[in-house]
A and B are shown apart, each in its own frame.
Chain A
Amino acid sequence: MSIKLSQIKGFLNSFLLHKGTFDLLQIDLIKRLVKHRAFQFAVILPNLFFFWLIILTGFFGSPVGNMNLSITFVWMLWWFALIALLVPLFSRLWCTICPIPSFGEWMQRKGFIRKKEDYKPLGFNKSWPVRFRNIWLQNLGFLILATFSVLLVTRPIVTGIILAILIILASVLAIFYAKRVFCRYICPVGGFLGLFSMFSSIELRVKKKELCVHHFSKECIKGCETSYGCPWFEYPGSMERNNFCGLCFECVKACPFNNIALNLRSFGKDILAKVGRSLDEAWKAFIMLTLAILYILVMQGPWGWIRDLANVFYSPSYGFALNGIEGFLLYAGLFWGTSLGLTPVTFLGFSYLSKAFSKASLPLRRLFIDFSYELIPLALGAWIAFSIPIIMVNWSYIVNTLSDPFGWGWNLFGTKEIPWTPITPEFIPYLQVLIVTIGLFYSIKLGFKLSSQHFLEKNLALRAFIPQLAFLIGTSILLAWLFVG
């Protein structure tokens, strides 16, 4: 069960010397864990407790955000852990432990852990409509939530209601549609998790594709006596991107040849994968980059009147600002207009310049979509940079609410009275600039490789990439100015 010296040697050999990957399933402990039928249930269970506690605190706890666990745990701890650690390092590992679709899945499977031999899913088991087999609905859902984010991240009751709605929606969809339709096509978090997980340093892939080609029973899709098959509608044999792999490890349990690997790899590999590039994902990249900038502007900028516009219930004290609803509609219009219109149109202009500079005969649409994937590292960097002060400034609220989750004056673990103590706030802007710079580095590196996929001549690839470089550097300068300007 333990990690052996030979396994460490194996890691060094394969990761450093061969291909830059290492199969974590070579470690017995990990392999045995993920192959165990109780694995996912066991990791969801503690999370289910916290989700339930978050809903209860949201509904019944203090309305003051920083005194309520629903706000501190979700929008400080979870958000930071998700965006800064889980996604970059472990892809969609959050989906492994997320309890939101669990009730629906347990209902479909008529059980929690065991796989029955004569298993037939409960529910209508319908197919998801073809026209919605994309992430447009996720883009829409995320934008709607993001528009109300000032309420969402400050009012516990709103967080409680949204979590409850998501659980109910996932469960209802599971009654009508097969498998994890909610996770794949609806979940507003899933959309950006999929996009950012392309950058992640971990991947689940088959070891030998030819083995899958000649293996016709396809237990990884259909299931077998030890596995339900992939609930995400993925076929591991052809998977080249992390986007829709929820790391449930059903395929690992199913594969009779142990042909599935969980590889450590270099960052951003999937961004160069030529399959699956689409307009809905391109727009997701625009939305994520734009919202990161807008959030930094609204929530961390010195302009209080913008923040007031974002609060639909707020009557401003500033003479020039609009009142609650009008101001909010203006804010929402700017929010949607920039993320769905201004940024993509600007990027289209830069893509047109790329086409003009390189005199490429490629369709503009192709260049526009493909180059949009270079935004992923920069957008992720911007989101991590945005999340850094949330944890460094507000960590004491998290430990306070650990002892007093409802804000009722409890002191369960003696951490209730820890005073508000930001960690080196004077260095935060420089740390933010550093993180955005790392994102920019990867965006430039991968962007040039994307350009090279279209232009075999280095000179042409470089010329096509010059406008993209200008866009990336310009956006980074804007972000840096917002942090330290």
Chain B
Amino acid sequence: MWGEKLDRTELLAIILVGAILIGTPLVIYYYQVNRVIKIMNYEKEIEIAANTFENGNWFPDKIVVKKGEPIRLIIYGSDVAHSLTIPKLGIDSGIIKPGHIKVIEFIPEEEGIYEIYCGIPCGSFHSFMIGKLIVVR
């Protein structure tokens, strides 16, 4: 076969194996990216994905907002059940299941750096899952 002229059966076999090995991840990637874009982009707001620490932590793990400006935070649960809590601001999203979103709205009144935690034990490195909300003037 290899180095020789391919017959049709072998060519078909190559195409089928190639379709599985290359096509499967491509289809999965395309489907997932489009699905996330569809979920996240229904409004131009601040988006944050909740991942376990070992899967990449909060993404992004730093959010900068302006004091006194109303913000709308769209949180996407990407791997396991999480919640977004900012204790100093009294914010708790409640449980966010994987593949689902939660939207929370608030107005930061004070400048400062506020730590973002996950409120649901989400794995061995749960306590490392920390992000930052930076409120500037």
- Cβ contact of B28, chosen from A62, A67, A406, cutoff 8 A: A406
B100 near A52: Cβ-Cβ < 8 Å = no
Cα-based distance from A410 to B7 in the complex (angstroms): 40
CB–CB B77/A52 < 8 A: no
Cβ–Cβ contact A52 & B79, under 8 A? no
Q: What distance in Å separates the Cβ of B80 from its nearest Cβ neighbour in chain A?
A: 5
* Contact indicator A64/B80 (Cβ below 8 Å): yes
Within 8 A of B (CB), among A398-444: 404, 406-410
Q: A49-B24, A114-B10 are in contact. Are A410 and B1 (CB under 8 A)?
A: no
- A116, B100: Cβ atoms under 8 Å? no
Contact of B9 with A38 in the complex, beta carbons under 8 Å: yes
Nearest CB on B from A102, distance (A): 9
Closest CB in chain B relative to A114 CB, distance in Å: 6
Q: Does the CB pair B24–A62 fall under 8 Å?
A: no
Q: Indicate which residue in B20, B98, B124 contacts A45 across the interface (CB closer than 8 Å).
A: B20
Known: A63-B52, A64-B80, A409-B100. A313 touches B124 (CB 8 A): yes
When distances are taken between beta carbons in the complex, the residues of chain B under 8 Å from A128 are: none
How many whole Å from B91's CB to the nearest CB in chain A?
Answer: 23
In the assembled complex, the CB of B64 is this many whole angstroms from the nearest CB of chain A, namely: 28
In the assembled complex, which residues on chain A have CB atoms less than 8 Å from the CB atom of B31?
Answer: 410
A110 at the B interface (CB under 8 A): yes
Interface residues of A in 312-328 (CB under 8 A from B): 313
* B14: chain A residues within 8 A (beta carbon): 112
Contact flag A52-B99 (CB < 8 Å), given A62-B79, A64-B79, A408-B32:
no
Decide if A407 touches B79 in the complex (CB within 8 Å). yes
B78 sits at the interface (CB 8 A): yes
Report yes or no: A410 in contact with B99, Cβ–Cβ below 8 A.
yes
Considering the complex, which residues of chain A in the window 84-127 have a beta carbon less than 8 Å from any beta carbon of chain B? 110-114, 116
For the complex, give the distance between the alpha carbons of A110 and B13 in Å: 12
For B1, B31, B79, B124, the residue with the greatest tally of chain A CB atoms inside 10 Å of its CB is: B79
Residues from chain B with a CB closer than 8 A to the CB of A407 are 79-80, 98-99
Q: Are B10 and A112 in contact (CB under 8 A)?
A: yes
Q: Are B79 and A56 in contact (CB under 8 A)?
A: no
Tell me if A63 and B123 are in contact (CB < 8 A). yes
By secondary structure, the A interface counts as: loop
B20 A48 Cβ-Cβ under 8 A? yes
Cα distance A52–B98 when bound, in Å?
A: 23
Interface bits A42-64 vs B (CB < 8 Å: 1, else 0) = 00010011001100100000111
CB < 8 Å: which of A38, A56, A114 contacts B1? A114
Scan residues 21-78 of chain A and give those whose CB is less than 8 A from a CB of chain B. 38, 41, 45, 48-49, 52-53, 56, 62-64, 67
A residues less than 8 Å from B7 (CB atoms)? 114
With A64-B79, A111-B10, A112-B17 known as contacts, the answer to whether A408 contacts B24 (CB < 8 A) is no
Q: How far is the CA of A469 from the CA of B25 in the complex (A)?
A: 54
Check B16–A45 contact: CB distance below 8 A.
yes
- Interface status of B102 (Cβ within 8 A of chain A): no
The answer to whether B37 has its CB under 8 Å from any CB of chain A is no
How many Å lie between the Cα of A232 and that of B29 in the bound state? 39
- 26 A-B residue pairs with Cβ-Cβ distance under 8 Å, sorted by A, are A41-B13, A56-B28, A62-B80, A62-B98, A63-B54, A63-B55, A63-B123, A64-B80, A64-B98, A67-B80, A67-B98, A110-B1, A111-B13, A112-B1, A112-B10, A112-B13, A113-B10, A113-B13, A114-B9, A406-B28, A407-B80, A408-B35, A408-B78, A408-B98, A409-B35, A409-B99
Known A-B contacts: A112-B14, A410-B32. Give 17 more (CB < 8 A). A38-B9, A45-B17, A48-B17, A49-B24, A52-B20, A64-B80, A67-B98, A112-B1, A112-B10, A114-B7, A407-B80, A407-B98, A407-B99, A408-B79, A409-B35, A409-B99, A410-B31
A-side residues, CB < 8 A to B, are 38, 41, 45, 48-49, 52-53, 56, 62-64, 67, 110-114, 116, 313, 404, 406-410
When A and B form their complex, which 9 residue pairs have the shortest distance between CB atoms, in order from nearest? A409-B99, A112-B13, A111-B1, A62-B79, A49-B20, A64-B80, A110-B1, A408-B99, A407-B98
